[in-house]
Amino acid sequence: ISEKLAAKVEELEIRVPENLEGAGRVPVVTEAIRLLKEDLGDQIAVGVCVLGPFTLAGQIVELDNLLKMSFKKPNLVHGVLDSL
């Protein structure tokens, strides 16, 4: 981390995308839920958990390697996170 995003929580500016339904992996997840509900009906509860890009990358690559790469090759890690 080269610099902190904010010194205080009050300084953070978190924005939710206007078109959340079409952002990132959301369309894939909502389609998967739709297909499951279509197949299973109302008899079984369908839940979902969407991992953030860093957590997902840590599931794909050993987390300790990802953490090391964050310091040694930050541009590479940034590119991977952008693709997720």
pLDDT of residue 17: 79
pLDDT per residue, tens digit, the chain (84 aa), is: 677 767 777 776 777 778 888 888 889 999 999 999 999 988 888 888 888 888 888 888 888 888 998 999 989 888 888 887
Entry pTM? 0.54
Separation of alpha carbons 4 and 35, rounded Å: 41
Contact in structure between 69 and 77 (CB atoms under 8 Å): yes
Contact in structure between 21 and 27 (CB atoms under 8 Å): yes
Contact in structure between 25 and 48 (CB atoms under 8 Å): no
Contact in structure between 27 and 19 (CB atoms under 8 Å): no
Contact in structure between 67 and 61 (CB atoms under 8 Å): no
pLDDT of residue 35: 94
Cα 63 from chain centroid?
Answer: 15
pLDDT of residue 32: 94
